[in-house]
Amino acid sequence: MAFKKLELNDSILRSLEKNGFTKPTEIQEKGIPVFLENKNLFGKSSTGTGKTASFALPILHKIDVTDKKVQAVVMAPTRELALQILDQFKKFSSMMTNVQIAPLIGGARMGDQIAKLKNCQIVVGTPGRINDHINRKTLRLDNVKIIILDEADEMLKLGFKSDIDAVFNGVENKVQIGLYSATISPKVLAIANKYMGEYEFIEVQNQMDVNNNINNTYVITKGYKKEDVMVKLIEKHNMQRFIIFTNTRANTTKISRVLDQAGIKNEVINGDKKQSQRTRVMRDFKTSRFRALIATDVVARGIHVDGIDYVINFEMPVDDEYFVHRIGRTGRNNETGSTITFINSINAVRHLNHVIKEFNLEIDEELIDDIGLEKSKDMDRPEIHDKYRPRTSYADRRDSGRGNSRGGSRGGSRDGQRSDSRGGSRSGSRDGSRSNSWGDKKPSSRSNSWSDRGASRDGAQSESRINSIDDSRSNSWGDSKPSSRSNSWGDKKPSSRDGARSDSRSNSWGDKKPSSRDGARSESRSNSWGDKKPSSRSNSWSDSKPKRSSNRDGFDGGSKPGKNFRNDK
């Protein structure tokens, strides 16, 4: 289908043609008609699927350019993502006249934003700063007709619920709502149920399933100094434009010093940077003024730069979803790209195994015996080395039939067969009814993860500080001791040498309370989302939803959406 068949106005079509957009993506093809019909839309879509255009194009089509009042408000979880959305709006409206778009993000001068709010039709920003302007009465919502929540799951994790509520409470008229989320959690459903009324539901395929342009490898750095391995691999692969992701701000600074000593030009971008500094760094990175960008996950979603040849994961991210966002920074727009993930602990192996299985990730080991570094003697023993080698793929998962219709029932039985949220069902060794979609994990089971902690109102996420560069991730489920983790995701029972493990433990890794024998476990690890009591939440995300109004069924835990919840396949 061509864009012209979506009945967008001519100036938008000319803008699309000018910027090389010829064919809509799946979510654009399904979502744009919904918006043009004045219906609310709930889109389950991850980054890289073209969801920005799916709401930006109909907004530009529907606004009255002669009306100089704000008609549409777009909210995003971070400054970087908000600025990326702003750039897309500018591209899509490049052949339109009299369209004004105001960015409202933290870190920018309030006076400049107030000036831009005059005579603008569209506002794009973070919920905190948007709410600041509402309270100052510099942003009026009396003429708003459309509200967009982009990456609603992330906004809720970052603590923006009260700001989102304030925006909706400030709207006087009935508005059209678009909600986009990579995951469907009870908190996201609560927002949808509270404000959207009837809505169309569209689920599109995860980019992780279809992007075959990325060559993923891992390196076992146990026995080496990771910083030395990093520099050697940069030289070996002649990396010219690449990103190094790490979990903490402290690590970004230390890695930067190492690269400086190696003569590799680099810049750091993290939550400590002012917005003006972030903007400058990203501009310089796009124009190749330096080779290496060192970043934390707080900015991972907002990095949209073509031509990145490598992504290095200095350690596994705390959150599975951020692994997808990290590696998705390369291999964009049908380009080829490569990723290297450092593994130096058993916890990291477990974490990577889970990611491999959950996302059908193909990954190979890159041996580093030939890069000129001396390895510790212990790592020369094959049985020790094998402990740090993750599974490279889960072919049985693909063979079991991963449905692509994405319109199947949700929930399912808990006796060894779990429902495939994308259509159909399949057997697995796991007894728990975890949804097959990585986006459908219960937020309650991760409510105390680092990404759930309160962030600054401008979306700058708080990262934990660590004084040494290593794989210690105290708030990650990957840090759990063997006794607290099930064998379910590894699909193997613990061997006899794992004396600390008991075969009588629960097969569901999320449903076990810490036992008294875990004496070594510190209470400071209470933030691990694997330590939640099962009694506090329902075992199925679909069962833990907030009650909907009496005339709708919602997700009923296993059959079909309620009558007001239309699922477009």
Domain CATH code at residue 287 = 3.40.50.300
Q: What is the pLDDT of residue 442?
A: 39
**CA 482 and chain centroid, separation:** 27
Tokens 């889970």, residue? 354
Same domain, 273 and 370: yes
Q: What is the pLDDT of residue 510?
A: 40
313 to 69, 325, 339, 388, 489: CA distances (angstroms): 45, 11, 8, 16, 22
Distance in angstroms (rounded) separating the CA atoms of residues 470 and 314: 9
Structural domain for 283, as ranges: 209-392
Same domain, 371 and 268: yes
Q: What is the pLDDT of residue 379?
A: 54
Of 392, 420, 448, the residue that ends a domain is: 392
Same domain, 200 and 54: yes
The tens-digit pLDDT sequence of the chain (569 residues) is: 688 889 899 999 999 988 878 888 889 999 999 999 999 999 998 766 788 999 999 999 999 999 999 999 999 998 888 988 998 999 999 999 999 999 999 888 899 999 999 999 999 999 999 999 999 999 999 999 999 999 999 899 989 999 999 999 999 889 999 999 988 899 999 999 999 989 999 998 655 444 678 899 999 998 889 999 999 999 999 999 999 999 999 999 999 999 999 999 999 998 788 878 888 999 999 999 999 999 998 766 667 788 899 999 999 987 777 888 888 888 877 788 999 999 988 888 888 887 887 777 888 899 887 787 876 655 555 555 566 777 665 544 434 333 333 333 333 333 333 334 333 333 333 344 333 333 344 333 333 333 333 334 444 444 443 333 344 333 433 343 434 444 434 344 444 444 444 343 434 344 444 444 444 333 334 333 334 444 434 333 333 333 333 333 333 333 333 334 444 44
Of 204, 228, 253, the residue that ends a domain is: 204
Q: What is the pLDDT of residue 391?
A: 65
Same domain, 128 and 245: no
What are the E-state strand segments in 410-517? 417-419, 425-427
Same domain, 169 and 217: no
Sequential DSSP letters for 307-325: T--EEEESS--SSHHHHHH
Cβ neighbors of 156 (< 8 A, separation 6 or more) are 164, 185, 187, 188, 191, 443
Tokens 């925006």, residue? 167
Of 159, 179, 204, the residue that ends a domain is: 204
- Is residue 228 in some structural domain? yes
Same domain, 16 and 106: yes
Distance in angstroms (rounded) separating the CA atoms of residues 353 and 343: 11
Same domain, 220 and 126: no
Same domain, 187 and 220: no
Same domain, 63 and 147: yes
Q: How many domains does the chain have?
A: 2
pTM: 0.51
Distance in angstroms (rounded) separating the CA atoms of residues 64 and 70: 10
Same domain, 214 and 362: yes
Same domain, 144 and 227: no
Same domain, 104 and 140: yes
